[in-house]
Amino acid sequence: MNCLYCRKPLTAVVNSRSTKDSSQIWRRRKCLNCKEVFTTHEVIDLSQLVVIKKSGKAEKYSRMKLYSGILKASQSSKVTKRELFLDKVTDEIEKEILLLKQKRVESSIIAEIVLRILRKRHTPTFLRFITYCRDISTDNQMKRELSKYLTDDKN
């Protein structure tokens, strides 16, 4: 993102929030060169996205649902500045969903994206989320699930 004033590419996000329907993200940016502050808005359009559930049922994508799922998983852990964390993670997930360039996405694919990002961002939330979205009732199932993600460490 280039500064609107001096055109230098060095800007930092100082604040961000999404609009009520979550279709836009407003960001306050500060130029690190000329120190001017300005607002941008980025459109995330997942309003047409259809999510296919495990049962085969199709439903409209909902940012709120995604957000509250991660909120639930992060509940008892000390995520500093929780709202900021949740917004950032949700934004990051939505961007990846957009990159799929699909009109219909299986919920398991979204879960993979969520897990991959949570694993990078916050391990306790990642672990709690994995038990929510996978049917895990035995040690072996848990080990198998975890090994899928832990092998990334060797790369």
Interface residues with Zn ion (CB under 5 A)? Answer: 3, 5-6, 31, 33-34
Provide, rounded to whole angstroms, the least separation between the CB of residue 64 and Zn ion: 35
Report the residue number, 2 or 47, with the smaller CB distance to Zn ion.
2
Provide, rounded to whole angstroms, the least separation between the CB of residue 29 and Zn ion: 10
Provide, rounded to whole angstroms, the least separation between the CB of residue 40 and Zn ion: 13
Report the residue number, 12 or 100, with the smaller CB distance to Zn ion.
12
Report the residue number, 30 or 88, with the smaller CB distance to Zn ion.
30
Provide, rounded to whole angstroms, the least separation between the CB of residue 31 and Zn ion: 3
Report the residue number, 32 or 58, with the smaller CB distance to Zn ion.
32
DSSP-derived secondary structure for the chain: ---TTT--S-EEEEEEEE-TTSSEEEEEEEETTT--EEEEEEE---TT-EEEPTTS-EEE--HHHHHHHHHHHHTTS--TTHHHHHHHHHHHHHHHHHHTT-SEEEHHHHHHHHHHHHHHH-HHHHHHHHHHHS---SHHHHHHHHHHHHGGGG-
